Amino acid sequence: MNEANKTALVTGANSGVGFEAAAQLAEDGWGKVILACRSIEKAEAAKAQLVERTGRDPFGVLAVDTSEVASAHAACDELRDQGERIDFLLLNAGASAKDARFNSDGVEITYASTLIGHHVMAMRALGDGVLSPHARIVIAGSEGARGNMPGMSVHDLNQIAADHSAGDLVAAIEALSRLELPVQSKFVNMNEYVTAKLLVAWWTAALARRLPAGITVNAVSPGAVLSTSFARDANAMMRFVMIPMMKIFGPLLGMSGSIDKAARRYLDVASFGDEETGRFYATAHRKKLTGPMGIQTWPEYFHDRRGQEASFDAMVRLTGVGFADTVGKRASV
């Protein structure tokens, strides 16, 4: 199908990589690009800037707070009622709050904004028939989930489950997302951020096993980009040490890249074939945060099938929206 007949939806389209991805989709000739932002006002403001930049207006607007289940449902109701047919669902939004904040169901905002609403949107889009038969779902990951960045630790979820929930990994992930674990007694937002991104990679692999043939889902890190608003709530180590250093040396050392290349990663993965699904794409070089992309094969925990299924099941429990509730009732699945 020609891009002119295709529709994309981008969450977090008013800022940073999401804004850039929406611009590139318009510049590539996509017929419709739905800007899904925290409020209609933010989406309308982004639309005005994007029309100005691209000289085109394929843009639609949608309000969604990706940290709230009810808001994700409301957005999906609107998509269904408007008869949208989405070819590219780009689940890019994500926040990392400096201080612990929670959504209305008690889920910490990093986990909530990254996965809660996105899980509901993916499930509902599938169940409502809003996704086209060869739709691509891409969700934002991060190299931080590899666990080798200074100042950020990925929680050892299997150990946490063994210590605190008799080995029940789903219960451990639920407790983790509510900041109920002793290891979280001091809130370190970047630890929760990189752990949330591990849950993203796991959720992606589990969802891929459930999707009907033809529809794919992949996690994609845009790589490190310093020109977005993301680091506004980063910890002191990031803001005062890593980011200033990366601003100077990053481009030379492959530790930070341009926003156009970052957004292009999402679009590139969306153009891959039906067999490329359930993967986590990020910077191929283990010690770099930008440059050529590759499937992340390490650390070994990315392939932890039990973790993958537990991440998915935890999202089902936390949102009340399961695969069987939506897609499972369709005859083709």
Burial of 297 (0-12, 13-18, 19+ CB in 10 A): exposed
The correct pick among 33, 34, 89, 140 for binding ligand NAP (CB under 6 A) is 140
Is residue 16 part of the contact set for ligand NAP (CB under 6 A)?
A: yes
DSSP of 98-167? SS--B-TTS-BHHHIIIIIHHHHHHHHHHHTT-EEEEEEEEEE--GGGGS-STT-----HHHHHHHHSTT
Q: Among 2-10, 48-56, 87-95, 170-178, which window interacts with ligand NAP (CB under 6 A)?
A: 87-95
d(CA 184, CA 210): 32
Q: Name the residue nearer to ligand NAP (CB basis): 74 or 171.
A: 74
Burial of 206 (0-12, 13-18, 19+ CB in 10 A): buried
3-class SS of residue 91? strand
Residue 33: how many other CB atoms lie within 10 Å: 28
d(CA 129, CA 84): 9
Is residue 42 part of the contact set for ligand NAP (CB under 6 A)?
A: yes
Is residue 90 part of the contact set for ligand NAP (CB under 6 A)?
A: no
Is residue 14 part of the contact set for ligand NAP (CB under 6 A)?
A: yes
Q: Among 22-30, 90-98, 271-279, 298-306, which window interacts with ligand NAP (CB under 6 A)?
A: 90-98
Q: How far apart are the first and last CA of the chain?
A: 23
Q: Name the residue nearer to ligand NAP (CB basis): 17 or 122.
A: 17
Binding positions for ligand NAP, 189-208, rule CB under 6 A:
none
Is residue 18 part of the contact set for ligand NAP (CB under 6 A)?
A: yes
Is residue 38 part of the contact set for ligand NAP (CB under 6 A)?
A: yes
Rounded to 5 degrees, φ, ψ at 211 are: -70, 150
Question: Mask: binding to ligand NAP, 207-246, rule CB under 6 A, as x and -?
Answer: --------------xx-xx--xxx----------------
Is residue 269 part of the contact set for ligand NAP (CB under 6 A)?
A: no
Q: Which residues of this protein are in contact with ligand NAP, per CB under 6 A?
A: 12, 14-18, 38, 42, 64-67, 92-95, 113, 140, 142, 221-222, 224-225, 228-230
